[in-house]
């Protein structure tokens, strides 16, 4: 197969297209759903790593494709919400551009993204975006890369950006990003860094989906606690007060998301999973031991032992648990109409001396092409900027906008409970931007699960063993992927 050309559109072409970008506009319309809360519990990962993305639901067997709008000769500017506005105008030599846009949104969040695509198409009659939501998403991307049939725009999870870049699925977009006027100044540092690989930018963050605390306020209030806890002391007091008889204060399972909770606590106690370069495993530090010991002690004091995956969700929904931690995507499942008590979703408390929250992120990318099309890339830049600037609509699907500007807007402040959870994303943690990094989390998940389930009792030994196995995986990955992204062959 011909070598993929990892080139980008000349910056002057895109600059001419983007000069009119980013003005004011009217308010975005409400998403086609009866609630502003996130998509339901079916969207949790199938495995204890972020590679199986939290917002990737149990998928249908066929891809869902949305086509809206029609192309007309005139290039027009799209108007969005308070934080969005004009998405841009195509260069004069470009007309009737059609874009293929792939994402993994096969669950309840899909219609929200479909609405955004429809609104973009209606406002930009000279660009038509066809959205395809794919099952087995990364397999589909790999297959399309081999056949040079990748889409023009694609969503990639933050921890997959480096892997897909090294596999030749994605191409650098530094000049496109510069021309769009997008920079890291408008994003939390960690989520912006996730889109940079080997010194080049491959992705722009759309959202952040953090670990969230769900609270049965009826149980807490009956125990004399009037507000959701925010500190270690408040959390311990609430968990202790609720734990009585059949009621438990804080439930922890031995499966998902226990590994992610450990990662969060590891950072809160001052540690990290890897060194900054992603070449060395560091979770078996004193901070790692302290984090896992805290989890084991909390389990002993406030939880049931040996809980299977989702057992804490079932117990919480039954009204027998005061607090649980899980992904923001569980909100409609365990709050509001999903339960028969006052269940709320809020930011996880700070237990250790450092603020930190585990999170995932959907990032917008330009897949690799053997022969990139300047007009398509110009249109893709307009579309990507539109999605970012108008991501309040996407927030209503259960996400936190990655853009600081959007999160600070009056529109977003009206979206609950997302606005209450949003401050935590300033301290979101992501793995180093290293290809295959999620492979190394396998041994960690096994070690944390073994400690929480009681099949292992020596915390330091379990973390040391997991670190040794993960280090070998990192070494094998370096041999597999090499030192820099390579075009697919």
Query: Does the pLDDT at position 85 exceed 60?
Result: no
474 cis-preceded (ω within 30 degrees of 0): no
Helix (H, G, I), strand (E, B) or coil at 127: strand
Query: Does the pLDDT at position 284 exceed 60?
Result: yes
Cα–Cα separations (whole angstroms), residue 35 to 114, 313, 396, 398, 425: 16, 20, 8, 10, 22
Comparison of pLDDT for 455 and 176, the residue scoring more: 455
Q: Which sign, positive or negative, has the C-alpha torsion 294, 295, 299, 300?
A: negative
Query: Does the pLDDT at position 94 exceed 80?
Result: yes
285-324 confidence digits (pLDDT tens): 999 999 999 999 999 999 999 999 999 999 999 999 999 9
Contact (Cβ atoms closer than 8 angstroms) between residue 171 and residue 203: no
Query: Does the pLDDT at position 44 exceed 90?
Result: no
Tokens of 195: 């889109």
pLDDT at 89: 81
**Paired strand residues for 201:** 196
Query: Does the pLDDT at position 168 exceed 60?
Result: yes
Query: Does the pLDDT at position 68 exceed 50?
Result: no
Tokens of 118: 């429809």
Token pair 């989520």 in the structure block, residue: 191
User: What is d(CA 102, CA 134) in angstroms, rounded to the nearest whole number?
Assistant: 7
Tokens of 399: 């996400």
Contact (Cβ atoms closer than 8 angstroms) between residue 352 and residue 271: no
Token pair 């899980």 in the structure block, residue: 326
Q: What is the dihedral of CA 48, 53, 58, 60, to 10 degrees?
A: -140
Query: Does the pLDDT at position 52 exceed 90?
Result: no
Least confident of 3-17, 225-239, 380-394, 398-412: 3-17
**What is the rounded average pLDDT of the residues 110-135?**
96
- DSSP state for residue 131 in the 8-state scheme: E
Contact (Cβ atoms closer than 8 angstroms) between residue 324 and residue 251: yes
Q: Where are the domains of the chain?
A: 11-206+361-415, 210-359+433-481
342-373 confidence digits (pLDDT tens): 999 999 999 999 999 999 999 999 999 999 99
**What is the rounded average pLDDT of the residues 402-408?**
98
Kindly report the number of other CB atoms within 10 A of residue 405's CB atom: 17
- Give 357's contacts (C-beta < 8 A, 6+ positions apart): 210, 211, 264, 347, 348, 424, 425, 427, 428, 429
**What is the rounded average pLDDT of the residues 12-29?**
34
* Strands laid side by side in the 153-157 sheet: 64-67, 127-133, 97-103, 153-157, 362-365, 204-205
The rounded percent of the chain whose pLDDT value lies above 70 is 81
Average pLDDT, the chain: 86
Kindly report the number of other CB atoms within 10 A of residue 184's CB atom: 15
Nearest to 325 by CA among 351, 289, 293, 353: 351
Nearest to 51 by CA among 439, 454, 456: 439
User: What is d(CA 51, CA 473) in angstroms, rounded to the nearest whole number?
Assistant: 16
Q: Would you say the CATH fold of 210-359+433-481 matches that of 11-206+361-415?
A: yes
Phi/psi for 140 (5° steps) reads -65, -40
pLDDT bracket for residue 63 (50, 70, 90): low
The third-level CATH classification (topology) of the domain covering 11-206+361-415 is D-Maltodextrin-Binding Protein; domain 2 (3.40.190)
pLDDT bracket for residue 180 (50, 70, 90): confident
Helix (H, G, I), strand (E, B) or coil at 314: helix
Query: Does the pLDDT at position 21 exceed 60?
Result: no
Angle (CA) 116-357-475 rounded to 5° is 95
Helix (H, G, I), strand (E, B) or coil at 358: strand
- Give 3's contacts (C-beta < 8 A, 6+ positions apart): 370, 487, 489
187-223 confidence digits (pLDDT tens): 999 999 999 999 999 999 999 999 999 999 999 999 9
Comparison of pLDDT for 231 and 62, the residue scoring more: 231
pLDDT bracket for residue 36 (50, 70, 90): very low
Contact (Cβ atoms closer than 8 angstroms) between residue 209 and residue 185: no
Q: Classify the phi-psi angles of 455: left when phi > 0, otherwise alpha if psi is within -120 to 50, otherwise beta.
A: alpha
Query: Does the pLDDT at position 43 exceed 80?
Result: no
pLDDT bracket for residue 483 (50, 70, 90): confident
Taking the domain 210-359+433-481, which CATH number applies? 3.40.190.10
Query: Does the pLDDT at position 8 exceed 50?
Result: no
Contact (Cβ atoms closer than 8 angstroms) between residue 266 and residue 440: no
pLDDT at 29: 31
- DSSP state for residue 136 in the 8-state scheme: S
pLDDT at 90: 87
The rounded percent of the chain whose pLDDT value lies above 90 is 78
Angle (CA) 28-31-37 rounded to 5° is 115
User: What is d(CA 18, CA 22) in angstroms, rounded to the nearest whole number?
Assistant: 9
Cα–Cα separations (whole angstroms), residue 199 to 166, 195, 381: 13, 10, 21
pLDDT bracket for residue 271 (50, 70, 90): very high
Q: Give the number of residues written for the chain.
A: 489
User: What is d(CA 166, CA 175) in angstroms, rounded to the nearest whole number?
Assistant: 19
421-435 confidence digits (pLDDT tens): 999 999 999 999 999
Query: Does the pLDDT at position 41 exceed 90?
Result: no
451-473 confidence digits (pLDDT tens): 999 999 999 999 999 999 999 99
Contact (Cβ atoms closer than 8 angstroms) between residue 409 and residue 25: no
For 191-275, list the strands marked E by DSSP: 196-197, 200-201, 204-205, 207-216, 248-250
């Amino acid at each position: 197969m011909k070598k993929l050309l990892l080139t980008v559109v000349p910056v002057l072409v895109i600059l001419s297209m983007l000069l009119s970008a980013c003005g004011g506009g009217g308010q975005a319309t409400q998403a086609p759903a009866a609630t502003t809360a996130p998509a339901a519990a079916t969207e949790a990962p199938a495995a204890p790593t972020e590679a199986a993305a939290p917002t990737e639901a149990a998928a249908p067997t066929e891809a869902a494709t949305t086509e809206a709008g029609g192309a007309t000769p005139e290039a027009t500017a799209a108007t969005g919400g308070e934080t969005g506005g004009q998405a841009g105008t195509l260069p004069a030599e470009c007309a009737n551009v059609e874009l293929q846009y792939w994402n993994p949104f096969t669950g309840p969040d899909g219609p929200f993204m479909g609405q955004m695509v429809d609104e973009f198409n209606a406002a930009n009659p000279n660009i038509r975006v066809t959205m395809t939501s794919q099952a087995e998403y990364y397999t589909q991307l790999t297959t399309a890369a081999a056949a040079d049939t990748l889409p023009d725009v694609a969503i990639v999870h933050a921890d997959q950006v480096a892997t897909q870049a090294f596999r030749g699925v994605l191409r650098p977009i530094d000049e496109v990003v510069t021309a769009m006027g997008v920079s890291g100044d408008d994003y939390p540092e960690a989520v912006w860094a996730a889109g940079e690989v080997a010194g080049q930018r491959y992705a722009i963050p759309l959202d952040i989906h953090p670990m969230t605390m769900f609270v049965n306020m009826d149980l807490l209030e009956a125990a004399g606690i009037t507000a959701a806890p925010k500190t270690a002391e408040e959390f311990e007091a609430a968990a202790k007060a609720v734990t009585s008889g059949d009621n438990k204060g804080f439930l922890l399972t031995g499966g998902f998301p226990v590994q992610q909770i450990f990662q969060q606590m590891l950072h809160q106690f001052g540690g990290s999973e890897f060194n900054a370069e992603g070449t060395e495993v560091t979770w078996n530090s004193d901070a790692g031991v302290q984090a896992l010991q805290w989890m084991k002690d909390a389990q002993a004091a406030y939880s049931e032992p040996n809980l299977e995956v989702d057992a804490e969700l079932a117990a919480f929904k039954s009204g027998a648990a005061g607090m649980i931690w899980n992904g923001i995507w569980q909100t409609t499942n365990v709050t509001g109409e999903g339960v028969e008590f006052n269940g709320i979703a809020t930011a996880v408390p700070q237990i250790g001396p450092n603020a930190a929250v585990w999170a995932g992120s959907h990032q917008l990318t330009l897949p690799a092409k053997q022969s990139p099309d300047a007009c398509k890339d110009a249109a893709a830049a307009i579309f990507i900027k539109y999605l970012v600037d108008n991501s309040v609509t996407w927030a209503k699907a259960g996400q936190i906008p990655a853009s600081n500007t959007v999160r600070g807007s009056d529109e977003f402040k009206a979206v609950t409970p997302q606005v209450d959870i949003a401050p935590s994303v300033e301290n979101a943690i992501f793995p180093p931007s290293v290809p295959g990094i999620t492979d190394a989390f396998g041994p960690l998940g096994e070690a944390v699960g073994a400690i929480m389930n009681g099949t292992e009792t020596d915390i330091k030994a379990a973390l040391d063993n997991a670190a040794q196995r993960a280090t070998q995986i990192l070494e094998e990955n370096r041999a597999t992927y090499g030192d820099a992204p390579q075009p697919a062959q």
